[in-house]
Structure 1
Amino acid sequence: MPTKAKGPSQRQLRAGELVRRVLVEILAGASLRDPALQGVSITITEVRTSPDLKHATVYCAPLMGTSGVDMEDVIAGLKRSSSFLRGRLGREMETKFTPRLHFLADTTFDTASEMNALLSQPAVKRDLRRGEEE
C-alpha cells in the first residue's frame, strides 16, 4: 500500500510565515552591502521550514518582475548575505533555533504570465469557445 505524502505541519507553516515576515522587514530596512542587491527590491513569496525548524528555504522574486534583474545574481547575493540575515533574524525572532537560510528563485509569477499569454492567443480562445458550445 503506497504511503501518502504529508504536507507541512501547522508548526512548520507558522514558523515559515514568521520567518517570511521578519525577513521582509529586514530586507526593507537594511541596506545590504552586496553589489548584486544594491537598488533591487526583493519580495519573499514563501518560506518552507524543515520539520525540525533548523533549515528554511526562502523563495524570492524581484518586486517589479524580472525585467532588467538577473535573478541568479540576486540569489547569489542573498546566499552571500545569508549569515548577516540569519543573525538579524535571530535577534528579531523569539524561537529556540534560528534556521539556516537557503534562497531559491520563485518562478511562479513567470509561469503564471506564460499561461496567461498562452490562454490569450486567438487560436486558444477559439478552441475554448468551441469547447463551451459542445
Structure 2
Amino acid sequence: MSRLSPKSHTPTHRLERVGELIRHAMAEILARGDVADATLERHPVTVHAVRMSPDLKVAAVSVMPLGGQDAAATIDALNRHKKELRTLIAHKIHLKFAPDLRFALDSSFDAQARIDALLKSPEVARDLEPRGGTHGDEP
C-alpha cells in the first residue's frame, strides 16, 4: 500500500500545524512591535489564518487590521517588511526553509457580516417564526 495519499484540497495535519506555528509567531511579532512601521503601530493587526503550500515554502497569511480601517495600507506595510518578518519568524520556529510570506486581506469577516445581515432580513425572520400548526400532537 502506498504511503502517499491521493492529491486533495484538504491540508495535511503537518501543513496545519506549521501554519499555526507561523500564525502564532506572526501575531507575537506584530503585537510586540518588533517591526518598526508607523502604519502597523497605528493599526493593530489580527492574523486570522496561515495556509501553507504542500512543500512548506509559501505561507499565505490572512490578516485584518482592527476595525478594517486602512486595510490596503496595512497590507502594503506588511509587504514592505516581508523580508524582516520572514527572518523574525525563522528565528522563532525552526524549519528547513523559511517560507515566503504572501499577505492577503481576510474576507471571512465580510462573509460573516453578509450571513448576519441575511439572518436578520425580514424574509428570513418570517420563515423562522413558529407557525400555529395543526399537527396532531400540538394543541
TM, length-normalised to structure 2: 0.82
Q: Given the alignment of the two structures, is residue 30 of structure 1 paired with residue 33 of structure 2, yes or no?
A: yes
Equivalent AA in structure 2 for residue 25 of structure 1:
E
Offset, 1:53: 0.6
**Matched position secondary structure for 1:90:** helix
Offset, 1:45: 0.7
Offset, 1:33: 3.0
Structure 1 runs of 4+ aligned residues shifted over 6 Å read none
Q: Given the alignment of the two structures, is residue 53 of structure 1 paired with residue 62 of structure 2, yes or no?
A: no
Aligned 8 A contact 2:35 2:85 in 1: no
Which of 15, 18, 35 is matched with 1:15 structurally?
A: 18
Offset, 1:129: 2.8
Moved more, 107-116 or 79-88: 107-116
Separation in structure 2 between the aligned mates of residue 62 and residue 115 of structure 1, nearest angstrom: 21
Equivalent AA in structure 2 for residue 114 of structure 1:
R
**Matched position secondary structure for 2:55:** coil
Separation in structure 2 between the aligned mates of residue 122 and residue 10 of structure 1, nearest angstrom: 42
TM, length-normalised to structure 1: 0.84
User: Unmatched 5+ residue regions in structure 2?
Assistant: 1-5, 135-139
Identity score, percent = 38
| RMSD (CA atoms) | 2.2
Q: Alignment length, in residue pairs? A: 128
Offset, 1:22: 0.6
Aligned 8 A contact 2:25 2:89 in 1: yes
- Larger-gyration structure (1/2): 2
Separation in structure 1 between the aligned mates of residue 130 and residue 107 of structure 2, nearest angstrom: 32
Separation in structure 1 between the aligned mates of residue 50 and residue 20 of structure 2, nearest angstrom: 7
